[in-house]
Structure 1
């Protein structure tokens, strides 16, 4: 993969203002893509665009992936500014821990809306044009929680399993139409989401932050957390024009946690 392998391609990254989304955006920009970053927080998006000031054609659009009208308006604005979407990175997501018996319907629906319905809505927004142009790359940022189970996050696990199911089904549907659909499944990754989870462990168990980190890392064969950049480079590989044989896959980026 050369530094200009995505020249001329328009990539939309949802949840692009921080964490894994920001790392993906930076990696795609380095490969020459035109970028549209989306998210609910306009300040985070603006800060990320400032970090990418060295690259041409980086735009920001506020969007709530759970709201159909917001999604439709955001993608219309992105296409008007940058042209048809060649690459869609469905990264926006949210996690919240709760014992199953304490998981109410509101939490259940919120986890499914943000993590699964958002992928559905954003993919629907780009699919007609991709089919018409016979080209597209879609990567859904799922989780190892979509490949195995974790306690106390039943709603989140259900949503991420759903993302993988959607990935496989859609990949088959468009396999002969120039479009690939894949998922990347990060394990625990050094992001704000992980830090929030660690804070919850500390507050609920009385462990120190170091003890909480060590307990989570101990379960990983490499005894560590992943970096956002490691996820981003896997995404870059999947969106290359030459990666047309890769579709319907759920690639675990987890230091060997899932085999």
Structure 2
């Protein structure tokens, strides 16, 4: 018997085309969940679908989380195919560099719309189905940068800070409102992991990596797959009495 059993559960992974979302999809597939992988870049989703198709039933659905009609249609596609949604992993996100004195309003809005409003929109169309079934597991991706910031220029992203802190507030609000429907809502806070978002920015800055590794108790960034345990915990019934919580997966970066 699997401890974190999600076998035959229907899981929607948003932002699954690369990075942590794609890793979660691979993990969920091996654990036997039926998957709907969502992102804007359909060609990348199709590649991932082919990779994991032998492990489980999976559909790839194009979805722009900043466009309500796109979200509405994507969730309809999932419901039409599977008839339900048990697990929602809200993981779409972007990081636009810049402080408030240099960010354009367009870039500020882009951060808020993708990282925070996107979670609202997807949840808006998923939660009613979970209420109807009296069951749901929602995991929202926040960040260590919801609780800490950095003075190094390469890491100044005020729109990202604000949007990821907002995710925590939204998570708590949703958790309190939907617990009576047997729906848990929790958040994860990844530290630095190599991903498409960080590969060409933070991971290429020797100054930043040196400072990060010196400050982090583990002395290194996160490795591929090291986020999956926390996601699986929140996605499974092992966390049935855990809601409104935030797990930092950061190698201890936020404790020093």
TM-score (normalizing by structure 1): 0.92
Q: Does 1:218 align with 2:214?
A: yes
Deviation (angstroms), 1:40: 0.7
**Bigger mean CA offset, 74-83 vs 84-93:** 74-83
Matches within 5 A, 1:155-194: 155-194=159-198
Distance (whole Å) between structure 2 residues aligned to residue 46 and residue 4 of structure 1: 27
Q: Identify unmatched segments of 5+ residues in structure 1.
A: 203-208
Cα deviation, 1:186-205, whole Å, max 9, x if unaligned, reads 00111111112237xx6xxx
**Bigger mean CA offset, 150-159 vs 82-91:** 150-159
Distance (whole Å) between structure 1 residues aligned to residue 208 and residue 175 of structure 2: 38
Q: Which residue of 1 aligns with 2:133?
A: 133
Distance (whole Å) between structure 2 residues aligned to residue 174 and residue 99 of structure 1: 35
Distance (whole Å) between structure 1 residues aligned to residue 241 and residue 109 of structure 2: 35
- CA gap 1:215/1:102 in 2 versus in 1, 3 angstroms: same
SS in 1 for 2:32: coil
Q: Identify unmatched segments of 5+ residues in structure 2.
A: none
Distance (whole Å) between structure 2 residues aligned to residue 150 and residue 172 of structure 1: 31
Q: Which residue of 2 aligns with 1:243?
A: 239
Distance (whole Å) between structure 2 residues aligned to residue 56 and residue 21 of structure 1: 17
Moved over 6 A (4+): none
Q: Does 1:154 align with 2:158?
A: yes
- CA gap 1:153/1:4 in 2 versus in 1, 3 angstroms: closer
Distance (whole Å) between structure 1 residues aligned to residue 208 and residue 178 of structure 2: 43
TM-score (normalizing by structure 2): 0.93
- CA gap 1:149/1:102 in 2 versus in 1, 3 angstroms: same
Residues 94 and 114 in structure 1, CA contact (< 8 A), matched pair in contact too = yes
Q: Which residue of 1 aligns with 2:45?
A: 45
Q: CA-atom RMSD, angstroms? A: 1.6
